[in-house]
Structure 1
């Protein structure tokens, strides 16, 4: 069987690369680079950081794929599987990844060193629990396809039943185990659990502080301060001195990243997820339902009826207008004819008057004097 896990290390990226590429641990054919060359990987990763001006903070992420010592798999196949996983990990797109398979121990395992800065856009690596879950599921699918064993839920890598402590995530599990063994004080554990829980849903620094306040914890997060300080407000009000803890102390106790940069990346991911879900809900609301379509068709029919009615009215007006024009022309012709008749009658009357005013002289007519 094969398992995937994230490795938390304080070593610099150069030391990490030197370690995973040691000749006594691997062979040249078992070292590959994704978006980089193994021989110049340190220079390439450093050049990417300098190009985008991001040489501070966490410089890389470290993951390991391990096969059980009894698993029948060759180093070459294990390395091929690891390269395939890296190539299809969406979160690593645009990041240089060094892949080195070790054969110096009883079990074959492969290291992934991922540059924290994206060479395409300069963004820091965005990595969530969902991404790790996807990586593990693809690892299990590889094992199934190759007839290898798949880890059983509730059992350790060696096949033993897990201890009584149960938690939803590896981070929470580590916290609870530390508390069980008495290695940390109760209020430190409570604050750490609250931080892990609140950062899962917070979409900004302000939201995170509000959620922590609602749980009874103060958060002193200032740009001018290097660290975040958390306060158990109930213990502080009770006058207890042991009531505060800084993020760097939490990292030391639990070997986890509680720093500002990591928190803000988590908030950004949550904000993008929330925005995407909101967009989906908005899109679903504007889709027309069956009643809406029926109403639209009804409206279209109504518009058509109105248009037909208007056309009918227009034709009627035109018809009436045409008829009116014909009647007007007929009246004009009648008036003209009447005027012509009256004029003819007038002229005839005048002619009769002229004839009547003449007297007969001899054989000729002559005007009356």
Structure 2
């Protein structure tokens, strides 16, 4: 599994380029037979100073000894990958010849770690036509695809998103630390980590919030200040001690979905769940109230019938016999009327209950239909927002390119 990473550090000075080349060719990290230079190199010996001078000569030849000096890429393989240093060198050379065609590149394989990795330092000025090297975000994606393609051609493992080297799924909350020091901190648990604390607080708060404002307020109640603004790409969390952590750091470290867009989607889902639950409760309460009201009306109708009215007026039958109880016994006609009224009451209550259950089932079905429609609406809105962001980014890149072309002088870049 090869990971091709571009090192984004300041590359606009001679000293930075010299230090980078010196590190890549340092003794103890690589051997002479694991070093290769692509492009013009007039010297027999290979050392960092001569490579540095060769890069400078090419820049001065084309009159472009300013701006970005070099590009630095690292291709690394998993420690369990079956690859030798010589094969890694061949891989790096093949990649440089395809991707950095026409540019001087020094390729060096390091074997001082538990995993083999290859460094590529490329001159920013082409020795063929003097053009400067440019890589956009789309180019970085194509670089990744080329690396994966080369791995497949050589029978090497290809990295899968959300999966380990052996193909197993990365579980939510699992620690994936790109920094070695950070990984050792989490693994050994020698001391508390404010990054882990922040992740736990975010997970707890996001489950119950339905808006960004509520999320920020709840985080503040738990001791975390949230910097969430429209003009910043990432959310920054800061605790009472002044320690800060970005949402991107938490996402990579713990394999969580807590970016701006993902949190907003979670808020929408929470609001929909709350609305559906409230709707179901209101419907059930209304059905139950209607049921009891019908029962009470039935009871009221029975109590106001013939039997009760006769008792109230003392109009018992003349043939009625005295019972042993306090109240006089009812005649056969009155008893039959009472039993009939009771049976009518039971039938009405049972019918009302069945109607209430049927209405509740219809309400739940309607709620599910509404919920599915809302989910589809959210997905469509998310897709639309993503398309608008991509269009805005493309327009901004076009404007930046036009501004850069206006400032250029001399030969065409």
TM bucket by the smaller chain? 0.3 to 0.5
Compute the TM-score of the two structures, normalised by the length of structure 2: 0.41
Bigger radius of gyration among the two: 1
